[in-house]
Structures are given as C-alpha cells and as structure tokens.
Amino acid sequence: LGKVISDSNFDAEFQQTHNAYRKQHGAPPLTINKNLCRSAQEWAEHLLSIRTLMHSNGEYGENVYYAWSSANNKLTVESWYSEIKDYNFSRPGFTSKTGHFTQVVWKDTNEVGVGLATDGNTTFVVGQYLPAGNISNAGYFERNVLPAGSKADFKPTPSGEFGMTVCAWM
C-alpha cells in the first residue's frame, strides 16, 4: 500500500495558498482543523488504495486532487482555483466545472483540513472544509462567491494574520 506523507510545510502552504486566494475575494482566512485533517487523510489513503478519484460524500465540503507524481501544495490549490475561468459571476451558482473554485473561496467556510497519500508514483490530495460550501439555496452563491477585488468585511486578528497550525498527520 502507499505511504502517508507527514509534511508540515505541505499543510501550512496549502492553508496559505487558500488564504491568499480567499483574501482576493473578500473571504476570511481558513484555520486548520485537526479533525478535518484526520478525515481528509483517511479519505486520501482510501483513494490511493482504490486508485480512483472520487468524493467521500461526507458531511464536509471537499476538494480532491490526483497527480501522477508528487503533489505540489500550491499547484493543488491553484488547479482548483483555476476553475474561476469558467465561473459566471453574473449568474452565480454551482456547476461541476467550478465547484472546486467556489469551495476554495466560499466566504462562510472558516476551517480546512488536508490529507495526502502517495506511493511515490501516484498522489492523492484531499481538502475538507467546514462549514461546507456550494450550498445551492437562494442567494448563497451571491453572498459567498464574491468577485476578485471584493472588500473584506471581517475583522483580522491584532497581528493582521491568522495563526498557522499544521495537521501533523498520524
């Protein structure tokens, strides 16, 4: 079976890359949730064992990623964010072509966990989010997926940044 990668640099950069994109869209920074990390790690390991990219359909928001080699944390989030090119801010809503992007910037989401599993040739990365994004109730996309350049309406910590925590996968 594959091996688990415990790399605090990976999850810290995963969080930082999310937060850089979220800031552009007026969304508050995400904090690391260790329970989400455990769940995401379990799912990443399962995906590696079955060699199939699919969602867990659990209680969390979720993005999944697959690479033929090692995964780059920044490129993983960038690949999800790149779906912005297909998102229509004039007609907000969910599509299968933009769901990863909308979860990354979903304003009401405030916690993330990341899991990564690889066998050296194949890598699966799972991001899980609370509260989940991509809620299709009336007005939710308009309130949660803001165009780049939107003004933030949350209060940062006194230092101006949210603290970094790592998953420390076990």
Q: pLDDT tens digit string along 39-90?
A: 999 999 999 999 999 999 889 999 999 998 776 777 899 999 999 999 999 9
Averaged confidence pLDDT in the chain = 88
Domain boundaries, the chain: 3-144
Rounded Cα gap, residues 105 and 141, in angstroms: 11
How large a percentage of the chain has pLDDT more than 70? 84
Q: Where are the alpha helices (DSSP H) in 25-159?
A: 34-50, 73-81, 99-105, 140-144
Rounded Cα gap, residues 131 and 121, in angstroms: 33
- Mean pLDDT throughout 24-31? 98
What is the pLDDT, as a whole number, of residue 85? Answer: 98
Tell me if the domain spanning 3-144 has CATH number 3.40.33.10.
yes
Higher pLDDT, 27 or 166: 27
